[in-house]
Amino acid sequence: MRKKQIFSIRQLQVFFRLLILTAIGAGWGCSTVNVAEQRLVSKSNMVFSDSPVFSDTSNYHSLLEPGTAGSGGGQASGCTSCK
Amino acid sequence: MMKKLAFQNPILRWPAKAILWALMMSRLLNATEEVEIHSFTLPIWDSNEIFTLSEQAAGIILLDFFAYWCIPCLPTSQDLEHNISKFYLSQYGNPQGLPVQVLSINVEAKQRQRTADFIKKSGASLVLDDPSGVILARLGGLALPYLVVLKGEAHETGTRWSAIYQHSGYEGTKAMRTLIDSIGKTGAIQTQAGVAQLEAVEEVIPSAEDEVELSKNETAAKQSISELEVPKEETQAAPKIIEVEPATKVLQPREPNSSRAFGLTKTTTYHLTVDSLTSSDVEIFNSTVQRERETETGHWDLVLNQGHIRVDYEPFSEADVIGVPNELNENNIAGQVSVTTNPSAYIEYVFSAGGYSGFTDHRSLWLDEYYRQQFYGIDGYIEADPWGYNASGGINWDTTTTLGVLSSTVILQQDDVAPGYDRPLFQPLERGRERLYTGSLLLEQESVFTKTSRMRNQLQFTRTTDRELRYRYSGNLNQALGENWVLRFEGAATYEAVEQEDESDFKSYSVGIVLEHDWNEKWFLGVTGRRYSDNGQIETSILVSSGPPPLETDHLGVTLRHQGDNHSWMFSLASYRTNFDEIDSPIRPFGNLYQDRDWVLATASYKYVF
């Protein structure tokens, strides 16, 4: 029986490259917008919010859509007999 | 040595480079510029008078740069007015006898009435106007609130000013008083975040000859700080002790009116949410209570959820001859607690744990009823009792206040699910795995992209028992279209490889868009459209597959929101349609589960901050 690797080298390389892209994205824009020009990006409907009052996403999407399930657990994906 | 090893290792090379790059960026972006500003002249808010720094008497001046739209600015200005300005007025200056004055400086040119409302709420006694942000930029301000402490010493040629502290974000009353109390004595004490600035910035502001001319009104009267700011009756009043509440620093909030935004004082926020998803044969109802409590060193978050699922179970008669219709009613409960701590000005640690009990979705309930009707009473069948728990830990790093946040979270989860069953001919009953373990890493990045757009990227890597690594990317872009229109985009993709060569990998995509209009940032009306599609869930259960065929969903809805100072609420109504592909023969018994449905999704949410 083939011994299964937890993560392959290829997977790790993809992972770290994606991480770098994220880091570049994080740096992007940090030095370009003057403070006095941040009025529009500071509006309440422009910021990303965890509050249900200001959030666009619905928890039901993750229950009905297998690809939207965030945690990956069996219950989260909604298919109890699925691996 | 470690560095050499990291850069030579083929796996560690990339992350090592990324960390090095990020550290360099961080140092660059958070560095304090040594600004050569000799003095400045600014108009006084709502007045024809002019304020000129170089003409002020020696002492200590605290500059508080603000804008009405900056969420942490209001509590900062309020705290500075009450616990710094009035406190030192009552004490006749700092311990060395140097007078202390707070100057609030507005940097927003538009929406003057809203700025006037802000000033009224903050109680600021002297406000200057820097609508183009020139002085803020010259003093190295990258984010609001931006605080600068100036020390003035009398010289023959006039008062010479030194900037001894420059900082984005407010470190709190205690830290500010420690700094102010140390001015004028040798071996001065600095605040935690102010140490670097104190070492690096001792810039002298020598004369009035090089004043920055920001106003053409040169004939306006000029007054000293004390004349402008200190009402006579207050200067003559007996010293009094003002109760000061310890404060914490303010990080840029990610949401309006968040408790994080009001980190200066101990605030509590309640969220109440009820939502329902209904179709002709399925009803799902959920109610959630969330309590957030801001403390001196972070905040606590408690979420409790109670749900109910009703399913009109109807067996698929063509493939299930023994099944009978049944009405299923199940309750579920869930709880989650999170703790956030702030070990430094730009770092946040988040720990969370929680659990649930009961069926949380209609599909698992439907499948469980199918297996119960098929195999109940047979050796090996056990009634399902789904439950699970999770724990997570993460770190948030404010790359620069208000501009960028980078976070990473590790999530561990255990689920005891309702397993699948099968009974091959003349064989004992086989039961699927009922305990699943999931490990997940979530990377998240937010930043201001341009002066009208803000973006967020999320990457998630998930590994569940007996499954391959799942990759998920989701991105958001919020775009302001003028003063009162906002367009929000969302896109996501998920990929999971399949071990078996004859099966295709799992892939899903979703795109969404919200167009929203606001009236004075109090009322918001938005229209939402969203589409999702996948190529069918990976499913390798024992013999009979219960995984769904390829799915497409469409979501179209409207949302009405109101935002007040303490109370906010939202109501949304949406049409949601799930369309499945043709069902393959192995999953025919589940034909009624995977039928197309038209759903109505309704959500109401209320938020109260006090």
Instruction: Give the pLDDT of residue B334.
Output: 95
Instruction: Give the pLDDT of residue B571.
Output: 96
What does the pLDDT average to over B58-77? 88
A-chain residue closest to B27, CA distance: A27
Residue B474 corresponds to which amino acid? S
pLDDT category of residue B249 using cuts at 50, 70 and 90: very low
Which residue among A64, A65, A81 sits closest to B419, beta carbon to beta carbon?
A81
| B421/chain A closest Cα distance in angstroms | 8
* Whether residue B204 has pLDDT greater than 50: no
* Whether residue B462 has pLDDT greater than 80: yes
Residue B145 preceded by cis peptide, ω within 30: yes
Size of interface A-B (CB pairs under 8 A): 350
Instruction: Give the pLDDT of residue B72.
Output: 82
- Lowest mean pLDDT of A10-24, B165-179, B369-383, B508-522, name the range: A10-24
* Whether residue B206 has pLDDT greater than 60: no
Structure tokens that stand for A32 in this block: 């370009």
More confident residue, B484 or B319: B484
Q: Does A1 contact chain B (CB < 8 Å)?
A: no
Instruction: Give the pLDDT of residue B587.
Output: 62
Q: Does A26 contact chain B (CB < 8 Å)?
A: yes
Which candidate in B259, B267, B285, B447 is best for mutational testing of the A interface (most A CBs within 10 A)?
B447
Structure tokens that stand for B564 in this block: 């007040």
What does the pLDDT average to over B198-205? 36
| C-beta atoms of B451 and A34 within 8 A | yes
| C-beta atoms of B404 and A29 within 8 A | yes
* Whether residue B596 has pLDDT greater than 80: yes
Q: Does A48 contact chain B (CB < 8 Å)?
A: yes
Residues 6+ apart with CB under 8 A from B372: B381, B383
| C-beta atoms of A52 and B516 within 8 A | no
Closest CA to B35 of B131, B128, B148, B127: B148
pLDDT category of residue B222 using cuts at 50, 70 and 90: very low
Q: Please answer whether residues B31 and B114 qualify as being in contact, where contact means their C-beta atoms are separated by less than 8 angstroms.
A: no
| B297/chain A closest Cα distance in angstroms | 20
What does the pLDDT average to over B392-404? 78
Distance between CA B474 and CA B532 in Å, rounded?
A: 13
Instruction: Tell me the pLDDT tens digit for each residue of B115-159.
Output: 999 999 888 888 999 888 888 888 888 778 889 998 888 777 777
- Helices B13-30, A9-27: crossing angle, 10 deg rounding: 10
| A19/chain B closest Cα distance in angstroms | 8
Instruction: Give the pLDDT of residue A34.
Output: 76
Distance between CA B18 and CA A16 in Å, rounded?
A: 9
Q: Does A2 contact chain B (CB < 8 Å)?
A: no
Q: Does A5 contact chain B (CB < 8 Å)?
A: no
Distance between CA B126 and CA B111 in Å, rounded?
A: 19
pLDDT category of residue B257 using cuts at 50, 70 and 90: very low
Taking the CB of residue B117, how many other CB atoms lie within 10 A of it?
Answer: 12
Q: Please answer whether residues B223 and B49 qualify as being in contact, where contact means their C-beta atoms are separated by less than 8 angstroms.
A: yes
Q: Does B549 contact chain A (CB < 8 Å)?
A: no
Q: Please answer whether residues B364 and B355 qualify as being in contact, where contact means their C-beta atoms are separated by less than 8 angstroms.
A: no
Closest CA to B585 of B555, B558, B545, B551: B545
| C-beta atoms of B142 and A35 within 8 A | yes
- Lowest mean pLDDT of B131-140, B237-246, B457-466, B540-549, name the range: B237-246
pLDDT category of residue A19 using cuts at 50, 70 and 90: low
Instruction: Tell me the pLDDT tens digit for each residue of B532-583.
Output: 998 886 555 445 667 788 899 999 999 999 998 789 999 999 999 999 988 7
Taking each continuous run of H as one helix and of E as one strand, the counts in chain A are: 3, 0
Q: Does B547 contact chain A (CB < 8 Å)?
A: yes
* Whether residue B202 has pLDDT greater than 90: no
3-state SS class at B501: coil
What is the ipTM, given to two decimal places?
0.71
Indicate yes or no: pTM above 0.95.
no
B-chain residue closest to A20, CA distance: B18
A-chain residue closest to B417, CA distance: A80
Distance between CA B263 and CA B261 in Å, rounded?
A: 6
Taking the CB of residue B10, how many other CB atoms lie within 10 A of it?
Answer: 9
Q: Does A52 contact chain B (CB < 8 Å)?
A: yes
| DSSP E strand stretches across B169-281 | 203-205, 268-278
Instruction: Give the pLDDT of residue B262.
Output: 34
Instruction: Give the pLDDT of residue B139.
Output: 83
Residues of A in contact with B569 (CB under 8 A): 53
Question: How many residues belong to chain B?
Answer: 610
Which candidate in B129, B269, B415 is best for mutational testing of the A interface (most A CBs within 10 A)?
B415
Q: Of B14-18, B342-346, B540-544, B571-575, which one has max mean pLDDT? A: B571-575
Residues of B in contact with A77 (CB under 8 A): 537
Structure tokens that stand for B461 in this block: 């890597």
Residue in the block written with tokens 């603000």: B66
Q: Does A45 contact chain B (CB < 8 Å)?
A: yes
| C-beta atoms of A43 and B521 within 8 A | yes
Closest CA to B358 of B317, B445, B418, B316: B418
A-chain residue closest to B514, CA distance: A56
B-chain residue closest to A10, CA distance: B11
SS3 letters across B389-418: EEEEEEEEEEEECCCEEEEEEEEEEEEECC
* Whether residue B235 has pLDDT greater than 90: no
* Whether residue B263 has pLDDT greater than 50: no
Instruction: Tell me the pLDDT tens digit for each residue of B422-450.
Output: 887 888 888 888 888 889 999 998 888 88
Kindly give the pairing relationship between strand B282-294 and strand B298-313: antiparallel
